[in-house]
Amino acid sequence: MAYTLTSIVLGVVVFGLTRIIWGSISWNLRYRRFHSSDGCQQLRSAPSKDPILGLDHFFRLGKAAHNSRYLEAFQEWFQAVGSTFGVNLMGDYVIFTNEPKNVQAVLVTKFKDFEIGQRRRDNSAELLGIGVFNADGQTWEHGRALVRPNFTRKQVADLGLFEKHVQRLFEALPKDGTAVDIQEWTLDTGTDVLFSESSDVLLPSATEVARKFAWAFNRGIDGIAQRIRLGRFARFYYDPQYTAACKFVHDYVDEIVAKAVYRAKEWHAEKKDKPVPPDDAEEERYTFLNALAREGVEPKQIRDQILNILVAARDTSACLMSAAVFELARRPEYQVQLRREIAEKLSGRQPTFEDLKDLTFLNHFVKETLRMYPPVPLNARVAKNDTVLPRGGGSDGMAPIFVPRGQLVVYQVYSMHRREDLWGSDAHIFRPQRWETTRPTFEYLPFNAGPRICPGQQFALVETSYVLVRLLQEYSNIEARGNSAPWREHLTLTCSVGQGVWVS
């Protein structure tokens, strides 16, 4: 039987309309069930000149991202529409929220109803493969269990690793007052902790390969962020530099993995010959890389997992460190106060792990840095099942809302940390003294929460605190170079200082 072009087109149209109609009926039936049992009300939507595709919103956010105002644009949106609303972005209907109760539901109380989702894996797999950053289910659980010992109190409290790299930082800071971007330093510590082998990017003798790895790693992260922002159109993203960066990162890390696999074979052979170590044997520092190799994990999977955790650990530390030094260099009055506290507590000696906990104003300074500049200012989850969020419905936004299976929910920590109704009229001002009395709950979320809370948060806090103390001990004044302009975002998977942190 022959089919005419007309009949084929008509069939496609009928099929498409049938899917749309059935999808609408199905959604309404599910909505009614939740409406009757949970009191759900209609979610507010951002007003749009193009209700079909939301092109005005898509281009508005694109322009904001280009001008390093993406977070600021959302801040304005939340103030205009409310703490939870929906937006149509090129056919993707996305729920945005900066409401603590909704964030708590997504991350903790309704954790089982949400997942990272396939789209993040698709957008990041070319560089990262599949690992703890983008995996769900057993893959995530296994990687999480293996990485956790890397950040135990015993591991983090060993400050010798930080001191080694602090000395390299001091060497890199030119004596003639020439500025250096301190953000590069954190890649060296991150690779040392996870690989037992530092990239040594900051050393004056750094190889061209090490410098190119730093460039390629950063370029790869930028590419993932671009894909995420493109939403369903990410499949059309192509950048030859991104592809080249991914290949270079893989080649660089594959060499490190090969060494770890070889060491693991030697370790197993030695363990077979000497199953019980002597009493005086020095305890080996745990590293995620060695643990994976000794488990017999395939080299490709090892690469994927360590790149996933390097993104989380290195970028979190880099963002916190750069923001803290950015504020410190611009605020001499806080340098004076911190130096006074450090001198009184330490009397010129290097701090211990316990010392860092006792430096009250330093801890307040770091907390305020995390409030103003959370390393991950926005994040997202996808609903695994039909579910409900407690806020966002009705004219006042206080009623629950229905969240259908497959719905993308983006929670905005940056904006939540700057809400005046939660933090007071000075929410936009950097003021560490607020922490003398502030005891926040879910309105303060610098490291996520729930089962997927950042495993490296203590590492980031201790590293930043230690480096700030040592900088203030070593230098009588820390000056900002080129940092007189207001803070500007550099938003990828995390958010760092857009203009760099050039200090001398």
Q: Which residues are annotated as a binding site?
A: 454
Q: Do the strands 489-491 and 495-497 form a parallel or antiparallel pair, or are they unpaired?
A: antiparallel
Evaluate whether 166 touches 466 at the Cβ level (below 8 Å).
yes
Which residues, in sequence order, are bridge partners of residue 473? none
144, HSE (Cβ side, Cα atoms, 13 Å):
14
Nearest by Cα to 449 from 107, 105, 100, 102? 107
Which residues, in sequence order, are bridge partners of residue 389? 401
Q: Residue 247, class by beta-carbon neighbours within 10 Å (0-12 exposed, 13-18 middle, 19+ buried)?
A: middle
Amino acid code (one letter) for 384? K
How far apart, in whole angstroms, are the C-alpha atoms of residue 235 and residue 38?
37
Distance from chain centroid for Cα 233 = 23
DSSP state for residue 42 in the 8-state scheme: P
Binding site for heme, by residue number, is 454
Evaluate whether 409 touches 415 at the Cβ level (below 8 Å).
no
Q: Residue 237, class by beta-carbon neighbours within 10 Å (0-12 exposed, 13-18 middle, 19+ buried)?
A: middle
- CA angle in degrees (0–180, nearest 5) for 391-395-400: 25
Backbone angles phi and psi of 392, in degrees to 5: 125, -15
- Which two structure tokens, joined as six digits, stand for 32? 């009614």
Q: Cα dihedral sign for 494, 315, 205, 163?
A: positive
Widest CA span of the chain, in angstroms? Answer: 93
How far apart, in whole angstroms, are the C-alpha atoms of residue 5 and residue 500?
59
Q: First vs last Cα of the chain: how many Å apart?
A: 80
